[in-house]
Amino acid sequence: MAGEIDTQQVITDLLPALHSDTRANLTWWTETDLIEYIDEGLKRLARIAAVFVERDTSQTTGIGTATYSLPARHVATLHVSWGTAPLVPANELELESLDPAYQTTQDVPAYWYEDRIGLQTVGLAPVPNAAKALGIVHTCWPPVIDIGKLNTLVQAPAPVAGYLAMVTLSRVYGREGEAEMPDVAKHCAAQVQLYEAAFQRYFGVSA
């Protein structure tokens, strides 16, 4: 189950591997660098594995309104419901074959479709004929890890902390400069790949 990981603690635990006892004494990298690597690692994980999943019920359908905005931080839609009724995913070609006027015909919705090229919306077909809660289960980006330390927490299973540590070490020792250690960076990058394969196998692929 997901818990709460403090990314500041991840950095603290990494300090000995970075030849430092405090953030202030970091020689070749800054704390800002480390936070950025962790944030980038979280975004990559969200793209490839369904680790971060939320259910959004903030919208209510309007009678005669076909499309609705995708939730904030949305990556990929997993499930859509209208009230308590689950809807079936469909593409626009399939819907046109069933009803060329699917974007205007009103009835009880049976299908959902998505437009992520233009308006970033989810559509219902037939168009809702009543006002009900729209439920969207989706994988999402975790909140941005803030450099000002206003947000350092991420809801994720405990192994994600180890993943973030390996991501950070692969980046710091892979960066060109005095502290560059290609063999260490390569080893850590291989560990990152193992973590990612395990997350995808356990949680599923995000998109």
**What pLDDT digit, counting tens, does each position of 66-104 carry?**
999 999 889 889 999 999 999 999 998 999 999 999 999
CB atoms within 10 A of CB 191: 17
- Judge whether 25 and 179 are in contact, CB under 8 Å: no
Q: What whole-number percentage of the chain has pLDDT above 90?
A: 78
Q: Does pLDDT of 22 surpass 80?
A: yes
Domain that holds residue 62: 53-140
Q: Phi then psi for 192, rounded to 5 degrees?
A: -60, -45
101 lies in the same domain as 154: no
Last residue of a domain, one of 140, 158, 191: 140
Q: What whole-number percentage of the chain has pLDDT above 70?
A: 96
**Mean pLDDT across the chain, nearest whole number?**
92
136 lies in the same domain as 155: no
150 lies in the same domain as 89: no
79 lies in the same domain as 111: yes
- Judge whether 59 and 141 are in contact, CB under 8 Å: no
Q: What pLDDT, in 10s, does the model give residues 9-21?
A: 999 999 999 999 9
Predicted local confidence at residue 149, as pLDDT = 65
105 lies in the same domain as 177: no
CB atoms within 10 A of CB 163: 27
Predicted local confidence at residue 1, as pLDDT = 45
66 lies in the same domain as 135: yes
67 lies in the same domain as 117: yes
Last residue of a domain, one of 140, 172, 187: 140
